[in-house]
Amino acid sequence: MGLLPLMYYFFIICTIYFTIFFSLIYIETYDLYYNDKPAKKEKLISILIPAYNEGKNVEESIKSILNSDYSKDKIEIIAINDGSTDNTLNILKSWQKKYPKIIKIINQENQGKAVALNNGLKIAKGEFIGVVDADSFLDKNALKMIMGVFENHPDTSAVTSNIQIKQKDNFLRKMQDVEYTTILWVRKLLQFIDAIYVTPGPLSVYKASVLRKVGGFDEKNITEDIEIGWRLLSQGYKIRICLNAVVYTNAPKKLKEWWRQRVRWNAGGYQTALKYKESLFKHKKYGIVGKFVFPFFSLSFIISLLGFSIVIYRFITESIPRIYYSIMARFAKPPSVIEYVTIPNSFTFFGILLLVASIVYTTISLLGIKNKRYFNLNKGGVLIILATLTFYLSLFPIVLIQGIYRVNKGVWKW
């Protein structure tokens, strides 16, 4: 058997395995998604808001925290201005004057988000540490719902939230909405095997004692929210997600902005995987990171690159010659688009089957995660799903390749 058939079978086996794996977890847990209860007793939360040139957003972000149904005397806001060159610092100072007992400001040179968070952590007084991106906005009950998870599950070290796209005003943002929802669905499923491996920046809350014990955020990692998740899991701490705690975030509106963001995410994920690569062979030391997170994360990278490589290889070796010979044989009547791209073999049929399964998989996640709100299939919903699963996902391997390249070359600026 040649290398190419082996690559096919590996790709097919992995995708079928993970589809069945997550489907079985979903069947067992689908009625537990929204069963979290709000906190009965409020405890002091220190909310860190790192901000770099966020003059357009930080005011609304602070307002959303102050307007939550969590008592103001149980909230400490620490805003860290990370060397902004716009009016971010002036806006923060104006809000500090209004709420001097609640809001504190740290003004530092531009050193990155992780440094900003660690500086905030040094002066935080709360029993719990919240992290809120300056372009993210909390639902009124988000804090109380997250704190309810800590209250009802005392062994929890960190709780993440239900991240939603704030504005879905163009096709790119609508595709991101589908992506975010599917990711949330997978994260909720991962909770049931204690394997949530990221605490996203829009809204995550940590036990302060645990966060300090593990050493705070990694200042060398460009996605500190991924690395801290792996570190918590590797040291035996549990992470949960609360889908009742909704936070809205600004998603990239243009492809260039989206590309930069995703390159950073992939570079940071790859950087984290390199840091914990030895976990695969030391299960007892690293726990679920070595047993599941690292293999799952690595296989996701491999499958993405493998699928992309197979498509490119077959296009070069089969589709291009077919196009050429078809044109040469029938230059008076050029072949149709279907004749250009169709390669009738078992891999093609598997690809069609996988696409159908992905549509079902994605639709279930959309209907489930959006708190049973109807995803309107009559107003472009089907087109958005199809575009997400074809064009949008086809960009991911390319972004991943660029992210890996940047890590290997030591290019961190973004």
| Whether pLDDT at 317 is above 90 | no
Q: What is the CATH number of the domain that holds 145?
A: 3.90.550.10
d(CA 60, CA 70): 17
CB-side neighbour CA atoms (13 Å) of 4: 9
User: Across the chain, how many H-helices and E-strands are there?
Assistant: 18, 8
| Whether pLDDT at 155 is above 50 | yes
Looking at beta carbons, which pairs linking 318-324 to residues 24 or more positions away fall under 8 Å? 318/343, 319/343
pLDDT band at 265 (very low <50, low <70, confident <90, very high): very high
pLDDT band at 10 (very low <50, low <70, confident <90, very high): confident
pLDDT computed for residue 343 by the predictor = 46
The 10s digit of each residue's pLDDT in 93-137 is 999 999 999 999 999 999 999 999 999 999 999 999 999 999 999
The 10s digit of each residue's pLDDT in 222-256 is 999 999 999 999 999 999 999 999 999 999 999 99
At 205 the three-state DSSP class reads strand
pLDDT computed for residue 368 by the predictor = 61
- Identify whether the C-beta of residue 154 lies closer than 8 Å to the C-beta of residue 266: no
Residue in the structure block whose two tokens are 């909310």? 47
At 390 the three-state DSSP class reads helix
Find the helix or strand (DSSP H, E) in which 242 lies: strand 238-249
pLDDT computed for residue 27 by the predictor = 81
- Identify whether the C-beta of residue 240 lies closer than 8 Å to the C-beta of residue 156: yes
| Whether pLDDT at 286 is above 80 | yes
At 198 the three-state DSSP class reads coil
d(CA 47, CA 131): 6
pLDDT band at 341 (very low <50, low <70, confident <90, very high): very low
The 10s digit of each residue's pLDDT in 50-96 is 999 999 999 999 999 999 999 999 999 999 999 999 999 999 999 99
> With a threshold of 0.85, does the pTM exceed it?
yes
Phi/psi of residue 375, each to 5°? Answer: -85, 110
pLDDT computed for residue 410 by the predictor = 78
pLDDT computed for residue 329 by the predictor = 59
Residue in the structure block whose two tokens are 């072949």? 335
| Whether pLDDT at 191 is above 70 | yes
pLDDT band at 333 (very low <50, low <70, confident <90, very high): low
Of the candidate ranges 60-69, 176-185, 188-197, 355-364, the one whose mean pLDDT is the lowest: 355-364
Cα-Cα-Cα-Cα dihedral of 204, 396, 360, 184, to 10°? 0
At 347 the three-state DSSP class reads helix
pLDDT computed for residue 350 by the predictor = 63
Cα-Cα-Cα-Cα dihedral of 214, 106, 52, 413, to 10°? -50
pLDDT computed for residue 322 by the predictor = 63
Residues 6+ apart with CB under 8 A from 308: 394, 397, 398
Tokens coding 118:
């660690």
The 10s digit of each residue's pLDDT in 385-396 is 888 888 898 899
pLDDT computed for residue 361 by the predictor = 66
Would strands 156-165 and 204-207 be described as parallel, antiparallel, or unpaired? Answer: antiparallel
pLDDT band at 401 (very low <50, low <70, confident <90, very high): very high
- Identify whether the C-beta of residue 259 lies closer than 8 Å to the C-beta of residue 214: no
pLDDT band at 185 (very low <50, low <70, confident <90, very high): confident
What is the pLDDT averaged over residues 190-200?
A: 95
| Whether pLDDT at 1 is above 70 | no
| Whether pLDDT at 414 is above 80 | no
DSSP string computed for 61-127 = HHHHHHTSSS-GGGEEEEEEEES-SSSHHHHHHHHHHH-TTTEEEEEE-S--HHHHHHHHHHH---S
d(CA 7, CA 25): 27
| Whether pLDDT at 32 is above 60 | yes
Alpha carbon of residue 201 to chain centroid: 9
Q: Provide the number of structural domains found in the chain.
A: 1
pLDDT computed for residue 342 by the predictor = 46
pLDDT computed for residue 316 by the predictor = 73
- Bigger pLDDT: 14 vs 358: 14
Q: Which residues pair with 76 in a beta bridge?
A: 46
Averaged confidence pLDDT in the chain: 86
Phi/psi of residue 108, each to 5°? Answer: -130, 160
Alpha carbon of residue 23 to chain centroid: 20
- Bigger pLDDT: 361 vs 63: 63
pLDDT computed for residue 372 by the predictor = 42
In terms of residue numbers, what domain contains 358?
A: 1-414
Strand order in the sheet with 238-249: 103-108, 75-82, 45-51, 128-131, 204-207, 156-165, 238-249, 136-138
Amino acid at 353: L
| Whether pLDDT at 37 is above 80 | yes
Tokens coding 202:
């829009």
- Identify whether the C-beta of residue 61 lies closer than 8 Å to the C-beta of residue 136: yes
| Whether pLDDT at 152 is above 70 | yes
d(CA 158, CA 212): 13
The 10s digit of each residue's pLDDT in 369-385 is 654 443 454 456 778 88
Question: CB 316: neighbour CB atoms within 10 A?
Answer: 10
| Sign of the CA dihedral running 230, 147, 190, 176 | negative
Tokens coding 188:
């909720």
